[in-house]
Amino acid sequence: MSAECSTLAAERDAAIAQRDAAIQENDKLLVILSQYKRTIFGPRSETLDPGQLSLFTITAQAAGPAAND
Protein backbone atom coordinates (compact mmCIF):
# COMPACT_ATOMS: atom_id res chain seq x y z
CA MET A 1 0.00 0.00 0.00
CA SER A 2 2.83 2.40 0.85
CA ALA A 3 4.52 1.79 -2.49
CA GLU A 4 1.25 2.47 -4.25
CA CYS A 5 0.80 5.75 -2.35
CA SER A 6 4.30 6.91 -3.18
CA THR A 7 3.77 6.01 -6.85
CA LEU A 8 0.52 7.95 -6.93
CA ALA A 9 2.16 10.91 -5.20
CA ALA A 10 4.99 10.88 -7.75
CA GLU A 11 2.50 10.77 -10.62
CA ARG A 12 0.55 13.62 -9.05
CA ASP A 13 3.70 15.71 -8.66
CA ALA A 14 4.67 15.01 -12.27
CA ALA A 15 1.20 16.02 -13.48
CA ILE A 16 1.35 19.24 -11.44
CA ALA A 17 4.78 20.08 -12.87
CA GLN A 18 3.52 19.39 -16.39
CA ARG A 19 0.48 21.60 -15.80
CA ASP A 20 2.62 24.43 -14.45
CA ALA A 21 4.94 24.20 -17.47
CA ALA A 22 1.96 24.30 -19.83
CA ILE A 23 0.54 27.36 -18.05
CA GLN A 24 3.91 29.12 -18.28
CA GLU A 25 4.22 28.29 -21.99
CA ASN A 26 0.65 29.49 -22.59
CA ASP A 27 1.39 32.81 -20.88
CA LYS A 28 4.53 33.22 -22.98
CA LEU A 29 2.60 32.53 -26.19
CA LEU A 30 -0.14 34.98 -25.21
CA VAL A 31 2.47 37.73 -24.80
CA ILE A 32 3.96 36.93 -28.21
CA LEU A 33 0.50 36.90 -29.78
CA SER A 34 -0.39 40.28 -28.30
CA GLN A 35 2.88 41.71 -29.64
CA TYR A 36 2.10 40.37 -33.13
CA LYS A 37 -1.42 41.79 -32.98
CA ARG A 38 -0.06 45.18 -31.95
CA THR A 39 2.48 45.04 -34.79
CA ILE A 40 -0.08 44.04 -37.40
CA PHE A 41 -3.18 45.96 -36.39
CA GLY A 42 -1.87 48.81 -34.25
CA PRO A 43 -0.31 51.21 -36.75
CA ARG A 44 -2.91 50.60 -39.43
CA SER A 45 -5.82 51.26 -37.12
CA GLU A 46 -4.21 54.39 -35.70
CA THR A 47 -3.51 56.08 -39.05
CA LEU A 48 -6.01 58.41 -40.63
CA ASP A 49 -6.90 57.89 -44.25
CA PRO A 50 -6.82 61.17 -46.23
CA GLY A 51 -10.15 60.19 -47.78
CA GLN A 52 -11.71 60.30 -44.34
CA LEU A 53 -10.71 63.95 -43.95
CA SER A 54 -12.34 64.90 -47.25
CA LEU A 55 -15.56 63.14 -46.19
CA PHE A 56 -15.56 65.15 -42.97
CA THR A 57 -15.02 68.40 -44.89
CA ILE A 58 -17.80 67.63 -47.36
CA THR A 59 -20.19 66.69 -44.54
CA ALA A 60 -19.33 69.83 -42.59
CA GLN A 61 -19.82 72.04 -45.65
CA ALA A 62 -23.17 70.41 -46.42
CA ALA A 63 -24.34 70.78 -42.84
CA GLY A 64 -23.07 74.35 -42.55
CA PRO A 65 -25.81 76.19 -44.48
CA ALA A 66 -28.54 73.97 -43.03
CA ALA A 67 -27.35 74.68 -39.51
CA ASN A 68 -27.51 78.45 -40.10
CA ASP A 69 -31.18 78.40 -41.16
Q: What dihedral do alpha carbons 35, 41, 43, 45 form, nearest 10°? A: -140
pLDDT by position in tens, the chain (length 69): 799 999 999 999 999 999 999 999 999 999 999 999 988 887 666 666 667 677 767 777 777 765 555
What is the residue extent of each domain of the chain? Answer: 2-64
Q: How far is CA 2 from CA 5, 13, 16, 20, 56, in A?
A: 5, 16, 21, 27, 79
DSSP reduced 3-state for 1: coil
pTM: 0.55
